[in-house]
Structure 1
Amino acid sequence: MESITKNRQSPEVLRAMIERAYGAGQVPAGDGWASELGHGWFNVAYRIRLRDGAEVVLKIAPPPAVEVMAYEHGAMSIELATLDLLRSRTAVPVPAVHFADRSRELCDADYFFMPYIDADNLGIIAETLPAAERDALMEQLGAANREINSVRGEHFGPLAGPGHATWRQAFTTMTENVLLDGERRGVDIGWEYDTVRAAVAAHADSLDEVTEACLVEWDLWASNVMVRDGRIVCVIDHERAFYGDPLMEAGFTGTQMSAAFGDPAPFMRGYGHGELTGTERTRRRLYCLYLVLIMVIETVYRGHTDTKQYDWARPRLDEAMALLGHTRR
């Protein structure tokens, strides 16, 4: 996916980064030792073959001059913190961090190295798999996601703070920040921004049911899952994590918008979650609205050269508003 947030670097800078991380003896010579991994939407990532033949991944944060959405500030620091939490407090397979550099001496952004995972991306191969195998992997994902959510925080909201005492405060602030991002760049979301604000406010009391601040990945789609031989071997891309309501996880999105986001049943079986209660459905509808607002608004911040994502997401925003009782006359 092409995006102006991708902070590509020259071979000379990449070699300097490799030397700092692994030493001069691992700096590759010749050509063909680096290739860009093009599946991501935000950071640039390179697959790199070191001089001894070992393969690693280098991930570089966006350039500081490129404006990002409010919730994306410090995304790489969030990812590094989340990886540390998951390695120390769960058995969920995540990449090790070989080296992280926040000095900005070699390039204008943070970066880190991790091992290359020799496995298939579930989001890419899912439709080629037999249904039973695909469902089994989604059940594994549900179980892994539940383990991730078992990590507790001391506040709601961003990992590093400042936090909120209640989930209602945290989520309404998160949503307001997204709306302000859209207004600042004049993004046409198809609705008056204050109408969206009113829809959130009308259902915000449903958020008060959430009293435990759980680690939420939020971006744990199949495309962030690496699989091999019928098993999940690694979960990648942890830069959107926060402390909040586990129902915000991607796997639950289809409970309210299955036509757009797929059948959630295998994920929910693996997670061990039964049918949603009325209040849970309301909360999940608010989370669907939050998701599709970002999907519409981020297209401007990413500098997309085509309208494919916007054209898909805009009708989904209408669907999310309808779930909250707002339809076009």
Structure 2
Amino acid sequence: MDSITKNRQSTTTLRAMIERAYGPDQVPDGEDFATELSYGFFNALYRVRLRDGAQAVLKIAPPAGVALMAREHGMMRNEIAAMELVRRASDVPVPRVHHNDVTGDLCGADWFAMEYVDAACFGIAAEAGELTPEVVDAGFEHLGALNRDLNRIVGERFGPVDGPGFATWPEAATTMFADVLADGARAGVDLGWDADVVRKVWDDHADVLAEVTVPRFVEVDLWAKNSMIREGRIVAIIDHERAMFGDPLMEAGLTGLDLPFFPDPTPFRRGFGLTGLTDGERTRRHLYTLWLAVTMLVETTYREQTPEQYRWAREQLDIVLGLLGRTR
């Protein structure tokens, strides 16, 4: 997937990054030691072969000068903080970080080197038909169980793992939703709806957010494509950059409750242990889908994505506004 935020680097720079992370004895010869991993819309990602034959992954934040949305500033630092927390406070599998560099002197941005996980991307393999329906079902159930384990991690405040923090969930969620609307206004994004109308829909239902009183760890982006599978089991969770302390009901694996385009959430819910939803919980889930739909729509401009992606995102926004009682 292509995006102007991808900070691609020459083999010369990649060698310099390997030297800093692993030492001069591990700098590879030749030009074929690096392969760009193309999935994902935001960061540049390379699988590299070290001189001793071991493999690693280099992840590079967007270059300076590229317009970013409010929550995207410093996201790589949030990801590092989230990975360290998950490894310390749970048994959920995440790659080991080998080196973290925030100097910006090699590639003009934050970057880190991490363990290469020898496994298939669950979402890509499922879409390609490489997994049986039984394995796909079990994979989503396993993701739900891992999500439940992650939610057991409790923070002191609400908001991104690396801050800023908020005392209450209504304050945190409403501030971050307002930031996305402001991102859209700043970039001149046509939501297909007046932004004040969208904000009023949020405000009219936001009282249910007060039901959330414990700041629990949420990956937010726990999609199938952000997990690795081997022999029918999820062996790693990747892409933790949007992780925060918030409401477990906002996790991506539940998006199919509201938007038919997304995978059936039944096996995820089974692993998560989520049966029925109260009226308040269902409204909260609708609000999080609204937040996601606006984010996906605004991203199409910031990422310079295709008109087709923009039209699709507008359709998702129409659907969720309907769920919250707003129709044209």
Q: TM-score, normalised by structure 2?
A: 0.98
Task: Give per-residue Cα distances to partners, 1:249-275, cap 9 Å, x unaligned.
Answer: 011111222x12121110001011111
Aligned pairs for 1:197-208 (under 5 A) are 197-208=199-210
Aligned pairs for 1:93-112 (under 5 A) are 93-112=93-112
Residue 11 of structure 1: how far off its partner (Å): 1.1
Counterpart of 1:180 in structure 2 is 182
Counterpart of 1:285 in structure 2 is 286
Distance in 2 between the 1:39 and 1:308 partners? 18
Q: CA RMSD in A?
A: 0.9
Runs (4+) of structure 1 moved beyond 6 Å?
none
Task: Give per-residue Cα distances to partners, 1:135-154, cap 9 Å, x unaligned.
Answer: 11111000001111111111
SS of the aligned residue for 1:326 comes to coil
Task: Give per-residue Cα distances to partners, 1:230-265, cap 9 Å, x unaligned.
Answer: 1111110000011100000011111222x1212111
Residue 161 of structure 1: how far off its partner (Å): 2.4
Letter in 2 for 1:246: P
Is 1:260 the equivalent of 2:284?
Answer: no
Contact 2:293–2:317 under 8 Å retained in 1: yes
Residue 315 of structure 1: how far off its partner (Å): 0.6
Counterpart of 2:191 in structure 1 is 189
Counterpart of 1:141 in structure 2 is 143
Counterpart of 2:162 in structure 1 is 160
Letter in 2 for 1:303: E
Aligned pairs for 1:10-89 (under 5 A) are 10-89=10-89
Contact 2:160–2:242 under 8 Å retained in 1: no
Distance in 2 between the 1:130 and 1:228 partners? 13
SS of the aligned residue for 1:276 comes to coil
Distance in 2 between the 1:85 and 1:53 partners? 30
Letter in 1 for 2:180: V
Unaligned runs of 5+ in 1: none
Distance in 2 between the 1:65 and 1:208 partners? 38
Counterpart of 2:4 in structure 1 is 4
Distance in 2 between the 1:64 and 1:156 partners? 28
Residue 326 of structure 1: how far off its partner (Å): 0.5
Letter in 2 for 1:190: G
SS of the aligned residue for 2:160 comes to coil
Counterpart of 1:322 in structure 2 is 322
Letter in 2 for 1:189: L
Task: Give per-residue Cα distances to partners, 1:23-68, cap 9 Å, x unaligned.
Answer: 1111011121011000111000001001111011000000121111
Distance in 1 between the 2:223 and 2:230 partners? 17
Is 1:250 the equivalent of 2:241?
Answer: no
Letter in 2 for 1:260: F
Contact 1:5–1:66 under 8 Å retained in 2: yes
Counterpart of 2:132 in structure 1 is 130
SS of the aligned residue for 1:260 comes to coil
SS of the aligned residue for 2:245 comes to strand
SS of the aligned residue for 1:152 comes to coil
Letter in 2 for 1:146: R
Letter in 2 for 1:196: V
Distance in 1 between the 2:47 and 2:162 partners? 29
Contact 1:256–1:281 under 8 Å retained in 2: no
SS of the aligned residue for 1:98 comes to strand
Distance in 2 between the 1:212 and 1:274 partners? 20
Counterpart of 1:272 in structure 2 is 273
SS of the aligned residue for 1:293 comes to helix
Task: Give per-residue Cα distances to partners, 1:196-233, cap 9 Å, x unaligned.
Answer: 01000000011010000011110110000100001111
Distance in 1 between the 2:61 and 2:287 partners? 29
Q: TM-score, normalised by structure 1?
A: 0.97
Unaligned runs of 5+ in 2: none
Distance in 1 between the 2:112 and 2:293 partners? 30
Q: How many residues align?
A: 326
Distance in 1 between the 2:56 and 2:263 partners? 33
Distance in 1 between the 2:172 and 2:285 partners? 15
Counterpart of 1:229 in structure 2 is 231
Distance in 2 between the 1:275 and 1:122 partners? 27
Residue 106 of structure 1: how far off its partner (Å): 1.4
